[in-house]
Amino acid sequence: MVQIDDAGSGSLIGGTCIGAVRVETGEYVYDFIPVSYYKSNKFRNKLYLKKSNQIVFSLLEKLEWKPEEKIEICQGYMFDQVRRSFESADISYLSTKIVEPLQSLIENSFQDYALSLGLPTQYVKYTKYPLHFHRILRWVYADYKKRMKLCKTGWKSWNKYGNLSVKIEEDILYKPNYNCLKCGRIIQKGSKVKRMEYHSNCPNIIYLHSKCL
């Protein structure tokens, strides 16, 4: 049996991982819908669904899937066009909630991808709500010009929170164990810093090394 699922469609940064696994052998393949599909006209026209469809058939080809082999596919919207393609091609499938083994495999693939984009480890792992929108937004504002290019800017939430007024002032940080959200290195207690303030769903304060701004 082959399982098909996605990960990362709800993350502000990056594209979406599409993965497939042959349950009996553990053969696992995956690819990404680029973040460009979540911007401007591509997003408005839902071209990410077309790309998902292309990727799924590419992954099935890599797995050398045979028609007699069962397919389980995530019941989410990301595979709406895939399901239509399956039905047009008379491919039997079950639309369902995907569990192990694919669930962990694809989540780990997206985590590695998010880390490769520069997200701090604590934003991706070791938290009850990894990749939380407003938490990632803080990281984006810490290096806005560079990091906004990684964002799904077609989202309504980006239109609402992605171009906020930011106040920047000099300050001294007395908090211990605080990492600069731009370079990632620790800010020594008592150091001069740049303090960034903005208001999204709540007031936010970001501290950076003075030289990092």
Q: What is the pLDDT along the chain (213 residues), one digit of tens a residue?
A: 999 999 999 999 999 999 999 999 999 999 999 999 999 999 999 999 999 999 999 999 999 999 999 999 999 999 999 999 999 999 999 999 999 999 999 999 999 999 999 998 888 876 555 678 999 999 999 999 999 999 999 999 999 999 999 999 999 999 898 999 999 999 999 999 999 999 999 999 999 999 998
What's the pLDDT at 129? 57
Fold category of 2-120 in CATH: Nucleotidyltransferase; domain 5 (3.30.420)
State the residue for tokens 């639309």. 95
| Residue 187 token pair | 């800010």
**What whole-number distance in Å separates Cα of residue 207 and Cα of residue 14?**
24
Contact 17, 113 (CB under 8 A): yes
pLDDT tens, position by position, 42-59: 999 999 999 999 999 999
pLDDT tens, position by position, 114-156: 999 999 888 887 655 567 899 999 999 999 999 999 999 999 9
Contact 194, 168 (CB under 8 A): yes
What's the pLDDT at 71? 98
**What whole-number distance in Å separates Cα of residue 10 and Cα of residue 7?**
8
Chain region(s) in the chain for CATH 3.30.420: 2-120
**0.85 exceeded by the pTM?**
yes
| DSSP annotation string for 134-171 | HHHHHHHHTTHHHHGGGB-TTSHHHHHHTT---EEEEE
- Residue ranges with strand state E in 47-106: 71-74, 94-96
